[in-house]
Amino acid sequence: MIRNFENKTAVLTGGGSGFGLECARIAARLKMNVVLVDVQQDALDKAEAEIKATGVKVFAKRVDVSSAEQMEVLANDVQAQFGAPHFVFNNAGVGSGGLVWENTVADWQWVLGVNVWGVVHGVRLFTPMMLDAAKKDPSYEGHIVNTASMAGLLTAPNMGVYNVSKHAVVALTETLYQDLKLVSDQVSASVLCPYFVPTGISQSHRNRPAELPHQKATKSQLIGQAMSDKAVSSGKVSAAQMAEMVFEAIANDQFYIYSHPQALGNVQTRMEAIVQQQNPPNPFAARPDIGEKLKAELRS
């Protein structure tokens, strides 16, 4: 929980676009120090210029969050410039689709590297720093927000690697929350679980490292990309609205942050099937036309 954001420090991965940039805009409005982290240099430069123009202190650094070494340098830089941060947003993420057996080792390494290891590094490096600050200062307030997805609570077909990565983030963050409650009343955590919100995640391949092997996209991957593009672009909840929800959650120590609470009916159905030892429910029960279309395309 953070009640007063002014003069506090926010570290935002994926800060060059989407949720990260929108949270940076709010942080600047609240007069926080802003640390922008992104792997895409042009987006980072543009974001840095925009946030600096508001008059707050800004530190921008190009970082591949999947790299332990680069994240360690970032943590040291933040400590040197601002001390322990107060808000850490482990938000950088990439998308991936296709039938789960068709993803290559490189696909798994890339998606898990960014979506899971990026969060792991943020948690393992900044949490001790924040807890140390809390011990030294009874007035210190800190909060970690990790970006997962509704895909971290559901298991939609044709996007297995992404599902796995986001389920890991949910489990990691729930555990982080419980662990923090054991040792401190001054540092807490939340998990962000957006559904379809217009951001750049459906075009994640723009930042796929050149050194990772590429293979020609399979039919299922092309279908998955098209479905993702359509769903994300048609989202009615904006990234800016989600960023407002993030700051409200931090102020209220609210753990789960949802863009589309109506999707929780599918989560409840899934959980009931688990408890009752039933087979996984049809993910297209509410929209059988989409399920039949996907099945027909994959079998054609």
Tell me if 36 sits within 8 A of 60, measured CB to CB: yes
Q: Write down the catalytic residue from 162, 195, 256, 258.
A: 162
Tell me if 84 sits within 8 A of 133, measured CB to CB: yes
| Cα–Cα–Cα angle for 1, 260, 30, rounded to 5 degrees | 35
Residue 258 bears catalytic tag: no
Looking at residue 177, its amino acid is Y
Determine the Cα–Cα distance for residues 218 and 128; give it in Å rounded to an integer.
Answer: 43
Catalytic residues: 162
